[in-house]
Amino acid sequence: MDAAREEGRAAGIAEATPVSTLDTIIDRGSMKCGVKESQYGMGYLDAGTGVRSGLDISYCRAVAAALGLNPDTDVEYIPASGSDRFDKLASGTIDVLIRTTTWTTSRDADLNADFAGMNFFDGQGILVRSDAYEYGTGSADQLNGAGICVGIGTTTEGNMVDWFSSRNIEFDPVPVADAAEATAKFIDGSCDAFTGDMSAMVAKKWQLDGDGSMNGVDIWIAQELMSKEPLGAATRDMDSDFKDVVAWVWYGMVTAEEMGVTAANAADSAAAACALNEGGATSDPGMCRLLTENLGLGTSANPLAGDWMQAVLATAGNYGEAYDDAFCDGSYSGLVADLPMTDCLISRAGTLNDLVQFGGIQYAPAMR
């Protein structure tokens, strides 16, 4: 009787325990990553070549590599708009959302989402047509009565209302489904301005200034940051094993740059760090752990390999290398002691996105 009861109890627990997304991905042999396709530097799809690039894309690839997948063939990129991204995550259409998504209280508490690594610290900006509103002082407080394109289902809607209403400035919101629609309306003059993450506004200005689509109309970015926008990855609630992997992949990339471990030297660094010194102790225990242990990550059925971090580095590089590939000319060595990043669309130097040792807030908990 007791044995039967115990069997029944165990069966009930097993039935009620959700399957980890990590196990589903491994069984499927591929990972579905919800991404953006229109923002250079974060998530961008070159229509001519079919090549994807950006910091979010590198993050997707890094997670896949950590799971032992081939990041070149085993990642399915699924476009996720501001209005449908959380529905796609909740429904299982995507496994992970890495698409310039702001971490907020209401999203964390109310939606079926759990936030992982923050890969970019941003703020809201406004891009303005000069034929509608001249640069003047460079402030957004000059935009009284402006028609402003704003994405449906984004934090920018509420932020814009807060910012303008608190200053008694009138504006006319023009709702758009995605950045492509906003760009089209901004170009044809249906919107006087276009608001979104400052990184997106900088990238959009760079694109429009370069492709001639504004037909000679000058455009400018208001000087204010209207909000805090920590952008990061999101997984489904109650999916802790997979969420842990997604978060610690990012922390591992940050830690690797702090330690001077790059895509080029990871294998040699592991060998040197794990070698025994004259006293018989590990030469660099912290680096050895980072590069050769799974640190408890994964599930009982599918623990990460001991060299998962080396796979991440081979795929995406450390944080600095990934940032350089996304926003700069790709010449940064990944070593903070070497020459800094150059020719950057958005420099991280002196910003929140720099490493904490240089005044930023990109900081990783201890990996042990």
Do residue 48 and residue 76 come from a single domain? yes
Q: How many CB atoms lie within 10 A of CB 92?
A: 11
Last residue of one domain, picked from the residues 199, 227, 255 = 227
Residue 90: helix, strand or coil by DSSP? helix
Does some domain include residue 9?
Answer: no
Domain assignment of residue 336, yes or no: yes
| 275 is a domain residue | yes
Residues 128 and 118 grouped into a single domain: no
**Same domain flag for 248 and 223:** no
- How much is the pLDDT for 16? 47
For helices 240-259 and 21-28, angle between their N-to-C axes, nearest 10 degrees: 80
Per-residue model confidence as pLDDT tens for the chain (368 residues): 466 565 554 444 344 458 999 999 999 999 999 999 999 999 999 999 999 999 999 999 999 999 999 999 999 999 999 889 999 999 999 999 999 999 999 999 999 899 999 999 999 999 999 999 999 999 999 999 999 999 887 888 899 999 999 999 999 999 998 889 999 999 999 999 999 999 999 999 999 999 999 999 999 999 999 999 999 999 999 999 999 999 999 999 999 999 999 999 999 999 999 999 999 999 999 999 999 999 999 999 999 999 999 999 999 999 999 999 999 999 999 999 999 999 999 999 999 999 999 999 999 999 99
Same-domain pairing of 195 and 73: no
Provide the 10 A C-beta neighbour count for residue 226: 19
CATH at residue 239: 3.40.190.10
Per-residue model confidence (pLDDT) at position 10: 43
Query: Which pLDDT score is estimated for 2?
Result: 62
Q: What pLDDT, on the 0 to 100 scale, is given for residue 178?
A: 87
Cβ neighbours for 247, distance < 8 A, ≥ 6 positions apart: 116, 117, 233
Q: What is the pTM of this model?
A: 0.90
What is the number of structural domains in the chain?
2
Domain boundary among 227, 245, 272: 227
Contact residues for 109 (Cβ-Cβ < 8 A; gap 6+): none
Q: Do residues 210 and 296 both lie within one domain?
A: no
308-316 vs 55-66: helix crossing angle, rounded to 10: 150
Q: Does residue 262 share a domain with residue 161? A: no
Q: Which domain holds residue 211?
A: 124-227
**Predicted local confidence at residue 157, as pLDDT:** 87
User: Does residue 103 share a domain with residue 246?
Assistant: yes
- On whether residue 2 sits in a domain, the answer given is no
Burial letters for 315-336: b for 16+ Cβ neighbours within 10 Å, e otherwise? Answer: bbbbbbbbbbbbbbeeebbbbb
Q: Which residues pair with 174 in a beta bridge?
A: 149
* Same domain flag for 279 and 335: yes
Q: Is residue 299 domain-resident? A: yes
* 202 domain-assigned: yes
84 and 51 within one domain: yes
| Structural domain includes residue 43 | yes
Q: Which of 212, 227, 242 is the last residue of a domain?
A: 227
Q: State CA 87 to chain mean position distance.
A: 18
**Within this chain, do residues 65 and 169 fall inside the same structural domain, yes or no?**
no
Query: Which parts of the chain fold into alpha helices (H)?
Result: 2-16, 21-28, 55-66, 85-91, 105-110, 155-165, 179-188, 198-211, 240-259, 266-274, 285-292, 308-316, 319-327
Judged by phi (left if over 0) then psi (alpha if -120 to 50, else beta), residue 193 lies in: beta
Cβ atoms within 10 Å, residue 190: 14
Asked whether residue 4 is assigned to any structural domain, the reply reads no
Tell me if 102 sits within 8 A of 128, measured CB to CB.
no
Give yes or no: residues 187 and 220 share one domain: yes
Same domain, 100 and 139: no
CA dihedral 271, 272, 274, 276 (to 10 degrees): 120
